[in-house]
Amino acid sequence: MGNLPPVFMGIDASTQGLKATLLDEGLNVVSETALNFDRDFPEYKTEGGVHRHTDGLTVTSPPLMWVAALDRLFERLKSGGAPLDRVVAISGSGQQHGSVWLKPGTGDVLAALDPALPLLDQLAEVFSVDESPIWMDASTTKQCRKLEERLGGAQAVADITGSRAYERFTGNQIARIYEERRELYDATERIALVSSFIASLLTGGYAPIDTSDGSGMNLMDIRKKDWSQAALDATAAGLAAKLGQPVAGHTAVGMVSDYLVRRYGLNAAALVIAFSGDNPCSLAGLRLQKPGDIAVSLGTSDTLFGSAREPQPSGVEGHVFANPVDPGSYMVMLVHQNGSLTREKVRDLVVDDRSWQTYRDVMSRTAPGNNGKIGLYLYEPEITPPILRTGVFRFDAQGAPVEAFAPGEEARAVLESQFMSLRVHAESIGLRPANIIATGGASVDPAVIRVLCDVFGVPVRVAEKADSASFGAAYRALHGWKCAQAGAFVEYEQALAGAAPYKIAAEPDMQAHQIYTEMLPRIGELERKIAEG
């Protein structure tokens, strides 16, 4: 590289696409490119990046599509003139809870990749399970109940792993395959997360799972930052050997492979920093540093998260993960599965042109609180609170069910119910924000931000870039590189000292906030009734 300034790359392997963000040491964007799985890889026939199975609960993605996408991503970066030869560190973000199942000998295949051939041609036969279970899958209720029974109940599971047993968590997906398709489990040498799988493609060998993404598996002891033997034993025989040893998020797990150097011109000395999950990378990307700093990520799912010094796991809802950038603290999070895709379905229901501007115009004719009308839009089985029943449930101001709302009421109802529900469940695990940083695709919509701000009653700041996971991955690459350079852990805040402050996007209307506060008990009661059928 000579005296050329270093560049740091973040790769985000989300549910719907793959993105790369390259930053310089001043945290300025040097290059970006993105792929959409449905559009760019139609041969895999995904919708929203996934395959929905006929049972209505099983949701998977083809891991070979992720392989093809990584090659295409680097091809675009190279053809677009991205300074790949100046990249000194790469880290990444992967959709949490997805698992990739690899046959014996896959490590040898990765180590011997031929730069004259695309990855797709060389890795087509390495998967023991050709459809990866992902976070949207809700098919493992039986395995969840079994885990809780063996470990002493939902709270006991949460006390060990940070969360009660959740259907989409990787350990329960592993348990289902172990019980129902044992021959596939036995034919597997390594079970990776999406994050560690993409990192493995970069290093040319098995990359470890990081402790933050590993916290979302119902398998890790969140205090010891290592696998819980009790959870492993309750899941599958011989599982520890298939998972490998987890590492802290700032760990350098290797250098980029000869394949990437020779095929795409990457710097041969570039470090690969442990990849993590998309939610931990969003925390990193938003630089949340103290209690009361809360982020709401408005993406395929809506997540609310922040940092905490001491874990207080709940056996009812929410998650505690290892912090991806601070080994001494934790990340607390709530997830609503019905996020942006649900908002899009309601938009398409109420406006003919499918325009967000038209949606905002229609919604503007209604008042905060919707005159007491509440609609719960559960197109997917819900995570928080746990509701496997799907459908749209509308209620008038007296709580009586109704068939439909007027278009403007419909447009407002989905936003209000989503954010009031988030507030109810955040407060139940002790998260009360002093301010909110909004991120994700919907954070650029002023109508969405207005309702979010008024429901919580605190200022909302919006990150300049909506894709905090991609930026968080690039920030983590820089952070891990500085730790490696120093030969010791460097405080994350110190590594990102040049980051610009966030601008306030909305101040709360306290009159509207009071209306929403008075409606909160109704939201909780309606959710309970729907969950009970």
Q: What is the pLDDT of residue 444?
A: 87
Instruction: Specify the pairing of strand 391-395 against strand 374-378.
Output: antiparallel
pLDDT in tens, 120-149: 999 999 999 999 999 999 999 999 999 999
| Angle between helical axes of 340-350 and 356-363 (0-180°, round to 10) | 70
Ordered by start, the domain boundaries in the chain are 7-280
Q: What is the pLDDT of residue 517?
A: 97
Closest by CA to 150, choosing from 68, 30, 260, 235, is 235
524 by DSSP, 3-state: which? helix
- Burial (CB count <10 Å: 0-12, 13-18, 19+), residue 528: exposed
Mean pLDDT split into 10-residue runs, the chain, 533 residues: 85 97 95 97 97 95 98 97 97 97 98 97 97 96 98 97 95 98 98 98 98 98 97 98 98 98 97 96 86 86 86 88 91 92 95 95 97 97 90 96 96 98 88 86 92 97 79 96 97 89 93 98 95 89
CA–CA distance, 163 with 97 (Å, rounded to integer): 13
The answer to whether the predicted template modeling score (pTM) of the entire model surpasses 0.95 is: no
Token pair for 361: 């115009």
Cβ 343 vs Cβ 411: under 8 Å: no
CATH fold of 7-280 reads: Nucleotidyltransferase; domain 5 (3.30.420)
CA–CA distance, 397 with 413 (Å, rounded to integer): 12
* Residues listed for the chain: 533
C-alpha distances (whole Å) from 146 to each of 184, 259, 265, 313, 377 are 21, 43, 49, 20, 30
Token pair for 271: 């470090």
One-letter amino acid at 400 equals A
User: What number of CA atoms fall less than 13 Å from residue 405's CA on the CB side?
Assistant: 30
CA–CA distance, 282 with 296 (Å, rounded to integer): 10
Distance of CA 355 to the CA centre of its chain: 26
pLDDT in tens, 427-455: 887 778 888 999 888 888 999 999 999 99
Q: What is the pLDDT of residue 2?
A: 58
